[in-house]
Amino acid sequence: MYNKNVKEYLVKNHRVFLSIILSLVIVFFVVPIFATPGKIKNLLSSIKFNPNSLVKLFTIKFESTKPKETELVSRLDNRNNSFSLTPIIQPSPTIVIPTIPGNLAPTLPNVIPTKIITIPTKVPTSIPPTKAPKPTKAPDVFPIDPSLARPGKTTDEVFEIASQKTCVPKEVLKGIAYIESGSFFDVVSPKYFLLYNSFDWWKSSYLTEVKRACSGYDYESNTGKIPADSNFAGQICPGAQGGDLVTMGPLSVSDYWEGKYKKPVASALGVAKTDQRVILDAIAIVGVSLKDNVKPANCSNWTAHEVAKAACSYYGSCGFKDKTYYCNTFCRNYVKFGGKAACQTAVNQMQDNCWN
């Protein structure tokens, strides 16, 4: 009777017992978890479980009390008592609580990322295409026979050569040449400079115009007439001066000077024939005549008197009497071309008396 009542009581109030147990679990385990900030979040994110396993969370085991109940009742109910005991034996439930690890965060291995080394791709050197070279333009000159051409391709070269061949400073030669030739050396083109510096140019097949014969001074200064040995013999060039003096060539060398110094000039230049119409020949004629008149002490360092005497002897006076002042013009040219002697002082002392 007693055992039956206990069982009925437990069965009838099993919900109460379960509620009590669940409250204890909540108070001692669930509440601390929620009381710690972030702990429930970490816990829930790290723990995955099957809801059906909740029934396994708590296990209640009831021990068999039948033998004990019988023994207790027998002892107490010895029929000597004035009361009758109805034993109520409540079995102690066994509560199994799962162990929850303190650190629920998964442990990750220390992974060292592999260093990626990027090797730049070598860019090939760009080789530009080779351009076809343009053909070199042939110089605009006449193919003059080398046996007729005189040395010197420019004005400076020609005067330097003449100076060395005649023993007269080039500043002296230039000082006179730029008076006698006017603007010839300033305006003549390189092409015709080479032509006019070759022997027999007045007969050349490259001389195809009368004006080219006239610009090379292939005419008699007093009449303007082109001589008989020229391609344009008998033609008249402008600029005739009249008178009896006949000169020709870029330096207006007279026939007298050309004839007088023909041999020494040919010897100095190393040629068989000379002519006052050839540029180098004309300068050399002037140089040989100046050396003959001045008789300098040396070839390079002429004194101021020697320089002034060169101009005076070539013109025949310094031009004070006829108001041409030839020597004054010469001295300005001489200084312009690099002459160092006091030319004008010497000219002022000399006046028109060239032979003192």
Please check whether residues 173 and 284 belong to one and the same domain: yes
Please check whether residues 72 and 175 belong to one and the same domain: no
Mean pLDDT of 20-47: 66
pLDDT classification of 58: cutoffs 50, 70, 90 = very low
Residue 175 domain flag: yes
Tokens of 140: 């605009």
Tokens of 79: 């029929």
**Residue finishing a domain among 280, 302, 324:** 302
The residue segments making up the domain with residue 285 are 155-302
pLDDT classification of 62: cutoffs 50, 70, 90 = very low
Total number of domains in the chain: 2
Asked if pLDDT for residue 53 goes beyond 90, the answer is no
Higher confidence at residue 112 or residue 131?
131
Please check whether residues 67 and 169 belong to one and the same domain: no
Beta strand ranges found along the chain (DSSP E): 247-248, 253-254
pLDDT of residue 81: 52
Q: Provide the 3-class DSSP secondary structure of residue 146.
A: coil
Please check whether residues 162 and 67 belong to one and the same domain: no
Please check whether residues 166 and 275 belong to one and the same domain: yes
Please count the other Cβ atoms lying within 10 Å of the Cβ belonging to residue 24.
11
**Residue finishing a domain among 50, 76, 102:** 76
Supply the angle between the helices 170-180 and 326-336 in degrees, to the nearest 10: 130
Please check whether residues 53 and 159 belong to one and the same domain: no
Asked if pLDDT for residue 169 goes beyond 50, the answer is yes
pLDDT tens digits, 188-229:
999 999 999 999 999 999 999 999 999 999 999 999 999 999
Higher confidence at residue 125 or residue 242?
242
Sign of CA dihedral 241, 243, 248, 252: negative
Amino acid at 320: F
**Region of poorest pLDDT, from 28-37, 147-156, 246-255:** 28-37
Please check whether residues 174 and 296 belong to one and the same domain: yes
CB 239 within 8 A of CB 218: no
Mean pLDDT of 18-44: 68
Residue 82 domain flag: no
pLDDT classification of 60: cutoffs 50, 70, 90 = very low
Residue 355 domain flag: no
Residue 41 domain flag: yes
CB 166 within 8 A of CB 113: no
Please count the other Cβ atoms lying within 10 Å of the Cβ belonging to residue 275.
19
Give the CA distances from residue 198 to residues 145, 202, 204, 240, 291, in Å, rounded to whole numbers and listed in that order. Answer: 8, 9, 10, 25, 24
Tokens of 152: 């010197």
pLDDT of residue 65: 47
Give the CA distances from residue 277 to residues 103, 201, 205, 249, 280, in Å, rounded to whole numbers and listed in that order. Answer: 121, 9, 17, 4, 9
* pTM: predicted TM-score of the whole model, two decimal places: 0.62
pLDDT tens digits, 76-126:
455 555 545 455 555 555 555 555 555 555 555 555 655 555 555 555 566
Amino acid at 121: T
Higher confidence at residue 329 or residue 8?
329
Asked if pLDDT for residue 16 goes beyond 90, the answer is no
To the nearest 5 percent, what fractions of the chain are helix, strand and coil?
45, 0, 50
pLDDT of residue 13: 77
Asked if pLDDT for residue 49 goes beyond 60, the answer is no
Residue 353 domain flag: no
Mean pLDDT of 138-162: 90
Q: Which residues contact 38 (CB under 8 A, 6 or more apart)?
A: none
Residue 291 domain flag: yes
Please check whether residues 47 and 168 belong to one and the same domain: no
Please count the other Cβ atoms lying within 10 Å of the Cβ belonging to residue 233.
13
Q: How high does pLDDT run on average in the chain?
A: 81
Please check whether residues 160 and 266 belong to one and the same domain: yes
Residue 251's closest CA among 318, 328, 332, 159? 159
pLDDT of residue 93: 52
Mean pLDDT of 48-71: 50
Residue 293's closest CA among 277, 307, 282? 307
pLDDT tens digits, 278-317:
999 999 999 999 999 999 999 989 999 999 999 999 999 9
Residue 48 domain flag: yes
Mean pLDDT of 232-261: 93
Please check whether residues 175 and 296 belong to one and the same domain: yes
Residue 56 domain flag: yes
pLDDT of residue 18: 80
Percent of the chain with pLDDT over 90: 56
**Residue finishing a domain among 261, 278, 302:** 302
